[in-house]
Structure 1
Amino acid sequence: MPERFGRKANPKTAQRSILPWKARNPMKLPVRVLIVEDLPTDVELAQREIRKVLPQCEFLQVDHEEAFMDALREFRPDIILSDYAMPRFDGMRALALALQHVPETPFIVMTGSMNEETAVSCMKAGAWDYVIKEHIKRLGSAVLSALDQRAVKQEKLQAERSLRESEELFRNLFQNHTAIKLIIDPDTGRLVDVNDAAVAFYGWSREEMLRMRVQDLNTLPEEEIRKRMDDVRNRRKAHFEAQHRRADGSLRNVEVFSSRIEVKGKVFLHSIVIDVTERKQIEAERERLMTAIQQLGEIILITDTTGKILFVNQAFETITGYSPQETVGQTPRILKSGVQDEAFYKNLWDTITHGRTWKSRIVNRKKDGTLYTESATISPVKTPSGKITHYVAVKRDITEHLELEAKFQQAQKLEAIGRLAGGVAHDYNNMINVILGYTQMAMAQVRNHPKLYEQLEQVLAAAHRSSEITQQLLAFARKQTIKPEIIPLNASIEKSLRMLHRLIGENIELAWHPGKTVGNVYVDPVQLEQMLANLCVNARDAIADVGKLTIETDRVTIDDAYCKSHPEALPGDYAVLEVSDNGCGMSAEVMEKIFEPFYTTKEVGKGTGLGLSSVYGIVRQNKGFIHVYSEEGKGTTFRIYFPHHETPGKILETRQTVAPVKGKGERVLVVEDEPMLIEVTREILKAAGYVVVTATRPEEALQIVSSDTVGFELLISDVVLPEMNGKELAKRIREHLPDVRVLFMSGYTANAICHFGILDEDVDFIQKPYSVASLTAKVRSILER
């Protein structure tokens, strides 16, 4: 028996889906849906999908032929959905009956599975569409599409009827006119008639265009198109511009002259369309070119053949300060700086008057008197016959570029020197470590020989001095292993003031002016003290006798504009440390080299040339930057910028001297590829009471561990080794000895245990060169944890 179903659905969701179809569908709602299906579950699935897109619908289910025929007569469905195969009825039979009795009603076949051949057969037999039940979610869109197709067919029939009614309307005049003409129904926007010129212009056939609306041609929103049609209908005439689409997808600019006409009491719009695309393109190109010229960052200047200025763009005023009103009618001599001689300008004129392009740099003067350097290209403008009519100059202000280029070259130079210095310091540290170790052990054995002990003290002092030099080299190269902390800048400087007083002596006044809002910085406190000492010593040496040294702090905010001219800076808040003196000052030539290692203006024996280079390295390694201001005879100021940190800092306690500590017989494995250094390390640890086993290569160390039956309490390894780094070696050894403790040693930072010179957490490390006391204390502290 047929079964009717209600039409409950979510009207908000479904309304959005039905709107496009409803706009074209001439039927009244509700939509009547006939479902030919024997399975209730499949019927429910179909209803659910259809209700999503058609909230106002009525369903009827049948499952045999008699009920199907009754439904066609009495239910009069708007659309039919049929299963392909059923026990008492099949979809192909239902399709045949539908085509015989209601051929205009859309028919969609639903099936559990369907191959391509069956689907083609259904479509050839007259089905409008087919839906596989596995993809039942497609049913809603298929139903809407079928209903839309039906509406289109009905519209076509209506259009054909309308066409017949207007066939004789101004036929000869309309069709044979060379202008593009359209007859439009203002109620719907439908194209009632088009002439041959319109067909040729738009590219669609006449039949295609008569199925279209003016909305399909015009790119304006439908509301605006409808408003314009209403204006013509009410005012009888109108003129406007628009963009129309053509069949090939192109857009054309058109002028439309539209008027109202009446045929048998029906109002139509008669529109004449004129293609103005080429004219608009020429106007747009001219406007685009002028806009581009005005907005260029480079100067564009056009003169006649005598040099009189005819045009300048906005960049000319921005760069030079002269407005177009002040410039037009003048000659480029208003910018003349006097830097170039007459021969320079004679060469320029000889080049361009002979039809060639002139390129060079030139120094000019702005309206305010400032000199600037520009890169200029001046070209002659010629007629097709080769006659010169104008000259056009394209000029770019490169003053700032030249300054940045000089800074970049200096930075590259310092970077190259830094890499070299870092490499030298690494090898140098190993040798100093051997000297320190053996000297300290020898001194322990000759305490009863004062003369020899004193001589060894001199050797030790020289080794320490050499170590300081390597540390300065490493600081410049930014290869020191550092432990930055968030510390209050003012308090840290105040702790160093007594030491700085001793360094500069009594003849020099030390003034300290702390800023009130300086706050905290993230730096290595040891490096901060080292940097202050070097700056103060440099200031002391620049003051011949009596003078003044001033240390100040402040807090500043740096913006993007500042960063453009100072590429080493980043925007943000900075704590500034300023060290000034009233000494002899420096020339510009000296200032260019002051951060280079070993460069010094001091007498032989009075400086290593590493103090300021190490300051530069420390500042850069701690994410800061440095500026120098100096004038001969007046003094020098160093301004150092460190990023500001809000987190509360701490004041470091004074570092305590570490005394040598004895071992307790623990077994220590030492891995170092420098034979002399590994030997002195073995002697130091052995003398301190440890059992020491050494290896010069990682593979050798792994073999020792794998064959050893006792085990080791501590691994001491260089970070940089052949075959693998120290961190990887420690990982491999811990596979055999999971509880072994590890102490890394190196003469400079290594990425294996550091990132940008900052020691990784939970890593024990000792810096080369190390003393007997520092090594034994470090080993003991690790083993006692």
Structure 2
Amino acid sequence: MNPRKLICLIILASVFLVNLLLPVPAHAVAQTLRVGIHNSKPMVFIDKNQIPSGLFIDIFNHIAAKEHWNVEYVHGTWQEGLERLRDDKIDLLTGIGYSAERAREFDFPREFVVMDWGLVYSKKGYGINTIIDLEGKRVSVLKGSLYTNNFLELLKQFNIKAKIIEKNDTQQIFESIDTGEADAGINSNLSGIQFEHNYDVDQTPIVFSPVKFSYAVNKDKRNDVIEALNRNLQELKSDSDSLYYRKYEQWITENRNKIPKQAWWGLAFLVFCLVSAAAFVLALRDQVRARTKELLESNRKLSEQKLLMNNVINGTTDSIFVKDTAGRYLLVNTEVARSFGKPVEEIIGQNDSKFFPLHEFEVLKKSDLKVMASSAGPLTYEEQLSTVDGKRVFQATKGPIRDESGNVTGLFGVSRDITEHRRLESQLLQAQKMESIGRLAGGIAHDFNNKLTVIFGYTELSKMKLSEGEPLWHYLNEITKAAEHSRDITAQLLSFSRQQIISPKPLNLNKAIMDTQKMLPRLIGEDILLTFDMAEDLWMVKIDITQLDQIIMNLGVNARDAMPDGGELKISTSNATIDEAYYREHLDAMLGDYVQLTFCDSGHGMDQDTVKHIFEPFFTTKEVGKGTGLGLATIYGIVAQNNGFINIYSEPGHGTVFKIFLPRLEEESLETTQEIIVPIAGSGTILLVEDDESVRQMTTSMLEKVGYDVLVAESSQAAVRLCEDRNVHIDIVLSDIIMPGMNGKDMMDKITSIRPGIKTLYTSGYSSEIISRQGLIEGNMHFIQKPFSLKVLNEKIKEVLS
């Protein structure tokens, strides 16, 4: 056959084949004057004669001739072209990928020239098949390229750590893979085709980021050029026989199918085979398109699932993580990063030794190994860990991760901060414990008070019949002192159980403490140095002055006993605002403004086990007979009754610090009251209602001694019957409130229906607070607590009658 005819036949067959195989392409762009170009064959490049060539050049030259533009091409690397455009050293850049971010900086035509996508190349036989295989690899990329930005984002999404090597043009990327400088490289599909056969590289199955390529000008600089490019590209792409499609087929076909002159006959045979396969290709095209559509839809769903999963994982306040078998983090959510105080990127690939103290790391490591060795499924642990929020308690549920063969490849974990839950739980247990002991203490105090009432009454009546110098008077006085001491003990029990009758008033702690300056040194001894540090402008508090004295005295005695060989006791006051940080670290603390009273001694201190029990009643570290164990329990009850809290810090050999926090009183107004002195004498008729015979007899004697006429009823029912008799005159009813059958309140309801407006004074061995909780008395009712003296009882009766 004539060689010329053979060449023609080959060209015709190639054109026919290209028409069958190649997809219908994309878009084009243009500009004026200085046009930036770089080496990205076949889109744009400088040929061997140093002439700008490629798909973008041919299309732009066509549009430039039509628009009468004079074009000056400026050659350089891709990065140089991008910087020249930004600096207005060129008017237009060719072969630039479109992105939303770039669209904020540059103007693009609406029509693009070509669509391309990114590929990962590796050295032949290197075995890179998935994105995971790039972990720890050296990857060569084009500096400033859109593919580079998208590829780096892809690595970030998969938590892949790779070493990035930046290059200035496409050829350098392939050279770096070929020479072993890089393990892999990324490039566009079209550009890569031109180089991959010249180097010892393979295409990998990793495909990413479809990108539209076009022309670009600086933002709002050449709108005329953009409009001209739009107009011409739309016109070219609307005609299937236009220069756009011819040049597209030319550059793609020419570069994909370069045939050596020595292989004409082989090429002819190849063309024949390709033409023969054309029918088969046509049949497969529809299947390929359908499969491509399925893959695109699958990728879309995967992207949606990934977005949903990210929202779920990062939207929770729980810490979620995945580790490998070496304990290295493979995945963490934003809560883990927040609690570590590190960005996610700095956590991935590291183990817990980088984020926790050694002892905490060892505990975590031990539990992780146990989880991965377990065949029972997820395990739950409680872990105390150091975070940016301080020491926190976490409940962590961890489970092993297995591959298809059942081999353990790591573990997953979900960890919840339960610090606040444990705080509230501990507070509840402590409150329940103290409440139970308080009920017991209150009951004991009630029984004691009844008996002490009898002792006080008869002793006082007996002393009134004797002169002070007689021996019997002295004996009775000692009985009175013992009874007073017993009364103080029951008062401490009531303070602890928060049942003591109190009269809180606005108070300045500085003044109250300084009033004790003379008395405290005598109490603690001369060998203890006592110092004061009182804050200026101290806030007011509201507390019963008697209770404050109990606090000061008990803490002073406690400090004295802790320093048998002398030492230093410092008492200080200050204003304190409890914030979230302090609240999280201290069990009993509550948010708000407080006045802080601090006792700091240099005594022998206590260990933590002792500190845990220090406020329990009857708990003492002193020798038998040297302490009741009620002093600190009393303080605890007083402070709790006044809505405050206590913190204690102590170490053996380093002394003890008590910090008492009392709520700030916002209304800093002091009410002054004038004490009325009432003589121990009275007149009138009193109805005494008391079920305890000894108390009834003693109270009757006391009242008759000072001049009252006394009617006695041993039960509520008897009192009601007596009041029904209109001939009996009664000025006031003095009644125990808790009695069998009918309580004092129900009794008085019946009596007031018979005798409206009759005066009433209630009494009980229980406190007014505990009786109020039972609904037996109200705030405007008169009440006196047992044990009472004749003077106090008389004053209270006078108060009610007046």
TM-score (norm 1): 0.58
The letter for the 2-side match of 1:640 is: I
1:690 and 1:455 map into 2 onto residues whose CA distance is 28
The letter for the 2-side match of 1:489 is: L
The letter for the 2-side match of 1:677 is: V
**Is 2:682 aligned against 1:663?**
yes
Q: How does 1:582-597 map to 2 (within 5 A)?
A: 582-597=602-617
Deviations 1:30-77 (A, max 9, x none): xxxxxxxxxxxxxxxxxxxxxxxxxxxxxxxxxxxxxxxxxxxxxxxx
The alpha-carbon deviation at position 647 of structure 1 amounts to 2.4
Q: Measured at CA, do residues 362 and 728 of structure 1 come closer, stay the same or move farther in structure 2, by a change above 3 Å?
A: closer
**Is 2:324 aligned against 1:309?**
no
2:717 and 2:323 map into 1 onto residues whose CA distance is 78
Check the 8 A contact 1:473/1:610 in 2, yes or no.
yes
Please say which of residues 517-526 and 293-302 is displaced more in the overlay: 293-302
1:424 and 1:295 map into 2 onto residues whose CA distance is 55
2:367 and 2:614 map into 1 onto residues whose CA distance is 41
Check the 8 A contact 1:627/1:638 in 2, yes or no.
yes
Question: Aligned to 1:745, which of 751, 758, 763?
Answer: 763
The alpha-carbon deviation at position 286 of structure 1 amounts to 3.1
1:479 and 1:757 map into 2 onto residues whose CA distance is 15
The alpha-carbon deviation at position 466 of structure 1 amounts to 0.5
| Residue in 1 that maps onto 2:598 | 578
What is the SS of the residue equivalent to 1:604? Answer: coil
Check the 8 A contact 1:698/1:724 in 2, yes or no.
yes
**Is 2:715 aligned against 1:715?**
no
**Is 2:454 aligned against 1:472?**
no
| Residue in 1 that maps onto 2:708 | 690
The alpha-carbon deviation at position 600 of structure 1 amounts to 1.1
Please say which of residues 366-375 and 579-588 is displaced more in the overlay: 366-375
2:472 and 2:785 map into 1 onto residues whose CA distance is 29
Q: How does 1:551-630 map to 2 (within 5 A)?
A: 551-566=571-586, 568-630=588-650
Check the 8 A contact 1:321/1:366 in 2, yes or no.
no
Q: Measured at CA, do residues 344 and 680 of structure 1 come closer, stay the same or move farther in structure 2, by a change above 3 Å?
A: same
| Residue in 1 that maps onto 2:462 | 442
1:511 and 1:652 map into 2 onto residues whose CA distance is 31
1:505 and 1:575 map into 2 onto residues whose CA distance is 28
TM-score (norm 2): 0.57
2:470 and 2:343 map into 1 onto residues whose CA distance is 86
Q: How does 1:392-403 map to 2 (within 5 A)?
A: 392-398=412-418, 402=422
Q: How does 1:525-540 map to 2 (within 5 A)?
A: 525-540=545-560
2:319 and 2:509 map into 1 onto residues whose CA distance is 47
| Residue in 1 that maps onto 2:724 | 706
| Residue in 2 that maps onto 1:76 | none
| Residue in 2 that maps onto 1:490 | 510
The letter for the 1-side match of 2:317 is: G
Deviations 1:731-762 (A, max 9, x none): 43222223422222223334587579999654
The alpha-carbon deviation at position 775 of structure 1 amounts to 1.6
**Is 2:351 aligned against 1:361?**
no
2:543 and 2:389 map into 1 onto residues whose CA distance is 44
1:627 and 1:740 map into 2 onto residues whose CA distance is 49
Please say which of residues 750-759 and 457-466 is displaced more in the overlay: 750-759
What is the SS of the residue equivalent to 1:438? Answer: helix
Q: Measured at CA, do residues 744 and 277 of structure 1 come closer, stay the same or move farther in structure 2, by a change above 3 Å?
A: farther
| Residue in 1 that maps onto 2:252 | none
Please say which of residues 403-412 and 692-701 is displaced more in the overlay: 403-412
2:627 and 2:334 map into 1 onto residues whose CA distance is 55
1:424 and 1:414 map into 2 onto residues whose CA distance is 15
Check the 8 A contact 2:423/2:587 in 1, yes or no.
no
2:459 and 2:399 map into 1 onto residues whose CA distance is 76
Question: Aligned to 1:299, which of 319, 326, 333?
Answer: 319
| Residue in 2 that maps onto 1:451 | 471
2:356 and 2:580 map into 1 onto residues whose CA distance is 32
**Is 2:543 aligned against 1:544?**
no
Deviations 1:683-738 (A, max 9, x none): 11112221112223222211111125132111112233334443443343222223
| Residue in 1 that maps onto 2:436 | 416
The alpha-carbon deviation at position 370 of structure 1 amounts to 8.2
Please say which of residues 634-643 and 677-686 is displaced more in the overlay: 634-643
Q: Structure 1: give runs of 5+ residues left out of the alignment.
A: 1-234, 238-273
1:652 and 1:459 map into 2 onto residues whose CA distance is 36
Check the 8 A contact 1:363/1:371 in 2, yes or no.
no
Indicate the RMSD between aligned Cα atoms, in angstroms: 3.7
Check the 8 A contact 1:670/1:682 in 2, yes or no.
yes
Check the 8 A contact 1:548/1:582 in 2, yes or no.
yes
1:489 and 1:760 map into 2 onto residues whose CA distance is 31
The alpha-carbon deviation at position 636 of structure 1 amounts to 1.8
Check the 8 A contact 1:672/1:717 in 2, yes or no.
yes
Please say which of residues 621-630 and 742-751 is displaced more in the overlay: 742-751
Check the 8 A contact 2:602/2:656 in 1, yes or no.
yes
The alpha-carbon deviation at position 455 of structure 1 amounts to 1.9
Q: Measured at CA, do residues 747 and 580 of structure 1 come closer, stay the same or move farther in structure 2, by a change above 3 Å?
A: farther
Q: Measured at CA, do residues 463 and 730 of structure 1 come closer, stay the same or move farther in structure 2, by a change above 3 Å?
A: same
**Is 2:307 aligned against 1:287?**
yes
1:333 and 1:655 map into 2 onto residues whose CA distance is 69
Q: Measured at CA, do residues 566 and 671 of structure 1 come closer, stay the same or move farther in structure 2, by a change above 3 Å?
A: farther
Q: Measured at CA, do residues 654 and 469 of structure 1 come closer, stay the same or move farther in structure 2, by a change above 3 Å?
A: farther
2:388 and 2:486 map into 1 onto residues whose CA distance is 55
Q: Measured at CA, do residues 281 and 751 of structure 1 come closer, stay the same or move farther in structure 2, by a change above 3 Å?
A: farther
Q: Measured at CA, do residues 308 and 567 of structure 1 come closer, stay the same or move farther in structure 2, by a change above 3 Å?
A: closer
The letter for the 1-side match of 2:531 is: A
Aligned length: 510
The letter for the 2-side match of 1:772 is: L
1:645 and 1:369 map into 2 onto residues whose CA distance is 31
1:746 and 1:690 map into 2 onto residues whose CA distance is 21
The alpha-carbon deviation at position 389 of structure 1 amounts to 5.5
The alpha-carbon deviation at position 319 of structure 1 amounts to 2.8
Q: Measured at CA, do residues 759 and 660 of structure 1 come closer, stay the same or move farther in structure 2, by a change above 3 Å?
A: farther
Deviations 1:224-248 (A, max 9, x none): xxxxxxxxxxx9x9xxxxxxxxxxx
Higher-RCO chain (CA-CA 8 Å, sequence separation at least 6): 2
Q: Measured at CA, do residues 622 and 304 of structure 1 come closer, stay the same or move farther in structure 2, by a change above 3 Å?
A: closer
Check the 8 A contact 2:443/2:766 in 1, yes or no.
no
Q: Structure 2: give runs of 5+ residues left out of the alignment.
A: 1-230, 235-293
Q: Measured at CA, do residues 758 and 720 of structure 1 come closer, stay the same or move farther in structure 2, by a change above 3 Å?
A: closer
Q: Measured at CA, do residues 760 and 525 of structure 1 come closer, stay the same or move farther in structure 2, by a change above 3 Å?
A: farther
Deviations 1:392-440 (A, max 9, x none): 1223355665566545433432222112111111111111111111222
The letter for the 1-side match of 2:782 is: D
Check the 8 A contact 1:504/1:540 in 2, yes or no.
yes
Check the 8 A contact 1:482/1:757 in 2, yes or no.
no
The alpha-carbon deviation at position 566 of structure 1 amounts to 3.8
Please say which of residues 428-437 and 770-779 is displaced more in the overlay: 770-779
The alpha-carbon deviation at position 374 of structure 1 amounts to 4.1
2:780 and 2:314 map into 1 onto residues whose CA distance is 61
Q: Measured at CA, do residues 482 and 407 of structure 1 come closer, stay the same or move farther in structure 2, by a change above 3 Å?
A: same
Q: Measured at CA, do residues 563 and 655 of structure 1 come closer, stay the same or move farther in structure 2, by a change above 3 Å?
A: farther
Deviations 1:301-342 (A, max 9, x none): 213456543211122223334543233223456567554899
Check the 8 A contact 2:380/2:398 in 1, yes or no.
no
What is the SS of the residue equivalent to 1:575? Answer: strand
1:590 and 1:650 map into 2 onto residues whose CA distance is 40
The letter for the 2-side match of 1:318 is: R
The letter for the 1-side match of 2:499 is: K
Q: Measured at CA, do residues 330 and 663 of structure 1 come closer, stay the same or move farther in structure 2, by a change above 3 Å?
A: closer
